[in-house]
């Protein structure tokens, strides 16, 4: 079982995740947009469009306007998740010594700070996920739009984050940076990982297995909004164009004369 989880499955996971994401993004990028679906009032230029997309994607502007309770849980969850992912990459890559590059910070202080930040954001992420799950189970209006997949992913992520927090807070389950670094180095260089100390920690194997399951399912689930939200926001907030790009065989002037609802503008002729 350890051989399957730690040696074989990671390569399968990376392959399915990469091909799945590229396939879904390719389908979205290749879709022809035959009419404008911009939100009114649409922004006048690409600079303002970039600002609008940024505020929507990173600050959840619309969510703040329509549901501040959901905004609190969503912004806390996403910010904590972003920090944890970044912390995993930087922390394991630098063995927790990344802050030692700041003058006056020792290696010991850096490792302590890295560990503390991981604990703080791990707690925030777990609480935010629990809060979002509680909303889905208790608020009538939210329960009406619940799907089984919504509950599944929240419970799944709670289990994944919970195991990760156990590894940070319980000394017996802790995984040193050096062990993870050695394990990842062997994977990246296509060496055997069997016999490495990381594989003796069953909590690490469980945590890593859940991560791999999540990555395998991500391209085919609603978690792909991680990538899709930028494309959606681009469609909704880009400057209005008359006629819409991709509109086939349309004589704009003739359509207006016929009263077919093509909006007035400076365009003349068809596409």
How far is it, in rounded angstroms, from Cα 206 to Cα 265?
A: 59
- Checking if the pLDDT of 270 tops 50, the result is no
- Checking if the pLDDT of 266 tops 50, the result is no
- Checking if the pLDDT of 9 tops 60, the result is yes
Strand partners, 251: 270
CB 214 within 8 A of CB 156: yes
How far is it, in rounded angstroms, from Cα 71 to Cα 81?
A: 15
Cβ neighbour number for residue 175 with a 10 Å cutoff: 20
pLDDT digits (tens, 9 = 90+) for 125-176: 999 999 999 999 999 988 888 889 999 999 999 999 999 999 999 989 999 9
Phi first, then psi, for residue 190 (nearest 5°) are: 60, 40
Give the model's pLDDT for residue 240. 65
Eight-state DSSP code of residue 175: -
Whole-model pTM: value is: 0.81
């Amino acid at each position: 079982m350890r051989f399957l989880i730690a040696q074989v499955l990671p390569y399968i996971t990376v392959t399915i995740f990469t091909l799945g994401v590229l396939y879904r993004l390719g389908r979205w990028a290749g879709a022809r947009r035959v009419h404008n679906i911009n939100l009114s009032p649409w922004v006048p230029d690409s600079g303002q469009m970039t600002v609008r997309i940024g505020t929507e994607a990173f600050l959840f502007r619309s969510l703040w306007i329509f549901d501040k309770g959901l905004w609190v849980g969503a912004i806390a969850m996403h910010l904590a998740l972003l920090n944890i992912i970044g912390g995993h990459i930087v922390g394991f890559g630098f063995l927790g010594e990344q802050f030692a590059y700041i003058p006056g910070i020792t290696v010991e202080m850096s490792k302590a700070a890295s560990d503390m930040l991981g604990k703080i954001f791990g707690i925030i992420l777990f609480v935010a996920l629990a809060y979002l799950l509680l909303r889905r189970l208790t608020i009538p209006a939210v329960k009406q739009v619940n799907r089984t997949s919504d509950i599944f992913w929240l419970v799944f992520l709670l289990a994944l984050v919970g195991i990760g927090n156990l590894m940070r807070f319980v000394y017996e389950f802790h995984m040193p940076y050096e062990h993870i670094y050695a394990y990842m180095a062997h994977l990246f260089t296509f060496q055997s990982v069997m016999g490495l100390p990381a594989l003796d920690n069953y909590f690490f194997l469980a945590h890593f297995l859940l991560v791999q399951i999540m990555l395998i399912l991500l391209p085919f689930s609603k978690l792909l909004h991680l990538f899709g939200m930028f494309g959606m926001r681009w469609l909704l907030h880009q400057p209005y164009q008359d006629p819409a790009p991709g509109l086939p065989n349309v004589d704009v002037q003739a359509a207006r004369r016929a009263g077919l609802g093509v909006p007035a503008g400076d365009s003349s002729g068809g596409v």
